[in-house]
C-alpha cells in the first residue's frame, strides 16, 4: 500500500502560526530557536565567499577552503562513461555511470500542450520547454492542457 503524501489534495493543511517578523498569521516556513518566519520574511543566510570576497548565498562549504558562492563554484571533474573525457558530470545513472553534459540526452515525454515528444521542463503537467516559456514565463496563455 502506498502511503499518500501530505498535501491539499489529501486533506493536509500545514500548521499556521504568527510570524515573529511581520506579525501575520500564516504558514511558518522556518523556525530558528524561538523565532518563526513566514516565506516572505525568511532570508537565506549569506556569508563572504572565499574566492570572490562578496557576501552571497553559499552554494558549497568546503572544509579545506571555506564557503563558496554559486557563481564561483565549479563542479568536480570526472571521467564520462560514454565519451571517456574528463568533464563536469551532470547525471549519475542507476548503474552508477557518470555522464557529462555533452553526452547526456534527457528522456523524451509527450507534452500536455503541444503533444510532441520532447524533453520536459515541468513534470506535472508534462510541459516541454517551448510551451513552458509561452505559458508560465510570459503568462500569455491561461488555457489548460488539451485532451486527446
SS3 131: helix
- Cβ within 8 Å of residue 9, ≥6 positions away: none
For residue 139, what pLDDT is reported? 59
- Cβ within 8 Å of residue 147, ≥6 positions away: none
109 backbone dihedrals φ, ψ, rounded to 5°: -130, 160
DSSP type of residue 7: S
The three grid cell numbers given for residue 121, joined into one nine-digit string: 521542463
pLDDT of 40 strictly over 90: no
- pLDDT tens-digit readout, 50-106: 999 999 988 888 889 899 998 888 887 999 999 999 999 888 888 989 999 899 888
For residue 15, what pLDDT is reported? 74
- pTM: predicted TM-score of the whole model, two decimal places: 0.48
Q: Is 23 left (phi over 0), alpha (psi -120 to 50) or beta?
A: left
The three grid cell numbers given for residue 114, joined into one nine-digit string: 503541444
Distance CA 28, CA 16 (A): 6
The neighbour count for residue 87, using CB atoms within 10 Å, is 18
Distance CA 111, CA 117 (A): 7
Quickly state the pLDDT bin for 138 (edges 50, 70, 90). low
With beta carbons less than 8 A apart as the criterion, state whether 99 and 82 touch.
yes
Amino acid at each position: 500500500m502506498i502511503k499518500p503524501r501530505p498535501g491539499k489534495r489529501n486533506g493536509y493543511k500545514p500548521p499556521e502560526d504568527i510570524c515573529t517578523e511581520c506579525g501575520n498569521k500564516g504558514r511558518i516556513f522556518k523556525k530558528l530557536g524561538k523565532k518563526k518566519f513566514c516565506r516572505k520574511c525568511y532570508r537565506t543566510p549569506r556569508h563572504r565567499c572565499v574566492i570572490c570576497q562578496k557576501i552571497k548565498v553559499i552554494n558549497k562549504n568546503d572544509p579545506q577552503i571555506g564557503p563558496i558562492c554559486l557563481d564561483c563554484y565549479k563542479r568536480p571533474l570526472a571521467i564520462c562513461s560514454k565519451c571517456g573525457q574528463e568533464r563536469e558530470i551532470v547525471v549519475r545513472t542507476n548503474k552508477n555511470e557518470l555522464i557529462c553534459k555533452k553526452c547526456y540526452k534527457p528522456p523524451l515525454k509527450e507534452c500536455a500542450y503541444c503533444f510532441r515528444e520532447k524533453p520536459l521542463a515541468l513534470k506535472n503537467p508534462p510541459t516541454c520547454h517551448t510551451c513552458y516559456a509561452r505559458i508560465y514565463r510570459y503568462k500569455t496563455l491561461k488555457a489548460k492542457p488539451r485532451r486527446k
